[in-house]
Amino acid sequence: MPRVVSFLPAATEIVFALDAGDQLIGRSHECDYPADALHLPVVSRPALRLAGLTPEAIDDAVAARLRSGESLYEVDEVLLRDLAPDVILTQDLCQVCAPSGNELTRALRELVGDPIVLWLTPKTIAEIERNILDVGRVLDREAVAESLVASNRTRMSRVAAAVAAEPRRRVVFLEWVEPFFSAGHWVPEMITLGGGNDPMANVGADSERITWEAVSDASPELLVVAPCGYGLAQATELARTLPPIPGASVYAVDANAYFARPGPRVAEGVELLAHLFHPDRFAWPHPHRPWSEVRAAQQAGSR
């Protein structure tokens, strides 16, 4: 049974979803779901102290470090060597999301043996599915992975069918505020499946910096605030700072759980969007509530 170290929260979720959590022997500092992952040794840590900073200050600090060529993360090379993993799960999609550059390459050179390194770099829902299947293959959980992918596809198809006859809601989905970033990678597909249309989204590509004027000019009916790396409470706090847009309802969502991490919960994220966009057509099927309505739609001229 292979011994696995995960440097990526989405990868950790995949491993547990494949009923292979007992094969994990190490995790990144951000791997916090499911709760059982919290008991694992931590093999990476942030190089910057960002706690308490505003989103604007975080953006400035991250941009400055990347411009200097320095990494945002540090790898515990001694612990990684002692753990002696057979499989390492990581990514090279986003320098902000997890270790991916020189710090990981150096750590891998120091390892004894020749572990399998699986790079999970999805940009679309289909590539998320491929990642799940790839992890299933290296962990000898292929049948479970295929079943999980099939189940998620069924759930997303059910959502799309439920909202198909409804007019698409005009949406702007924000992956960051101060500065503002549009929806990118797999999120635009999730918006479409949920019955929305986001004119500022980049399908299968990086999110882009946008202005508040452009957001307002898009005349959204719904503004979804989903700052990358943030849970519901933090997203709600930030959403409350945004100025109103006439005619737009403002919702904060748990970005960490459903949108920032490309893993098994992508289908639940589509269900969440469908419920926000078309609550009369798609009822939320789960007991928890990972969203908050921060502001109801205001008409032009209202106060």
**Per-residue model confidence (pLDDT) at position 1:** 87
Cα–Cα distance between 244 and 296 in angstroms, integer?
Answer: 10
The one-letter amino acid code at 6 reads S
Q: Nearest 10 degrees: CA dihedral of 52, 53, 55, 57? A: 180
Q: What is the DSSP letter of 41?
A: P
Cα–Cα distance between 183 and 191 in angstroms, integer?
Answer: 9
| Number of neighbouring beta carbons within 10 Å of residue 280 | 8
**Per-residue model confidence (pLDDT) at position 131:** 97
**Per-residue model confidence (pLDDT) at position 178:** 85
Cα–Cα distance between 158 and 107 in angstroms, integer?
Answer: 44
**Per-residue model confidence (pLDDT) at position 50:** 55
- Which of 238, 262, 265 lies closest to 250 in space, CA to CA? 238
Q: What is the CATH number of domain 4-121?
A: 3.40.50
- Which of 280, 302, 278, 276 lies closest to 290 in space, CA to CA? 276
Which helix (DSSP H) or strand (DSSP E) does residue 25 occupy?
A: strand 24-27
pTM of the predicted model as reported, rounded to 2 decimal places = 0.89
**Per-residue model confidence (pLDDT) at position 66:** 56
- List Cα–Cα distances, 29 to 10, 76, 116, in angstroms: 13, 11, 21
CATH of 167-295, one of 3.30.43.10, 2.40.420.20, 1.10.10.10, 3.40.50.1980: 3.40.50.1980
**b/e string for 131-144 if b means 16 or more Cβ within 10 A?**
bbbbbbebbebeeb
- Which of 222, 247, 244 lies closest to 171 in space, CA to CA? 222
87: helix, strand or coil: strand
What string of DSSP letters covers 159-216?
A: HHHHHTTSPPEEEEEESBTTTEE--EETHHHHHHHTTEE-TT-EETS---EE-HHHHH
Cα–Cα distance between 122 and 100 in angstroms, integer?
Answer: 14
**Per-residue model confidence (pLDDT) at position 236:** 97
Q: Where in the chain is the domain with CATH 3.40.50.1980?
A: 167-295
- List Cα–Cα distances, 96 to 46, 48, 58, 59, 85, in angstroms: 10, 11, 11, 10, 24
Place of tokens 């980049």: 202
**Per-residue model confidence (pLDDT) at position 105:** 66
Token readout for 292 is 């908050």
**Per-residue model confidence (pLDDT) at position 98:** 47
User: Using DSSP, how many helices (H) and how many strands (E) does the chain show?
Assistant: 11, 15
What is the full per-residue pLDDT of the chain (303 aa) written as tens digits?
Answer: 899 999 999 999 999 999 999 999 999 988 999 999 999 999 988 765 656 656 666 666 656 655 665 566 788 888 998 999 999 998 775 444 445 455 666 667 667 678 999 999 999 999 999 999 999 999 999 999 999 999 999 999 999 999 999 999 999 999 999 889 999 999 999 999 999 999 999 999 999 999 999 999 999 999 999 998 899 999 999 999 999 999 999 999 999 999 999 999 999 999 999 999 999 999 999 999 999 999 998 654 444
**Per-residue model confidence (pLDDT) at position 101:** 52
Cα–Cα distance between 296 and 285 in angstroms, integer?
Answer: 23
**Per-residue model confidence (pLDDT) at position 302:** 46
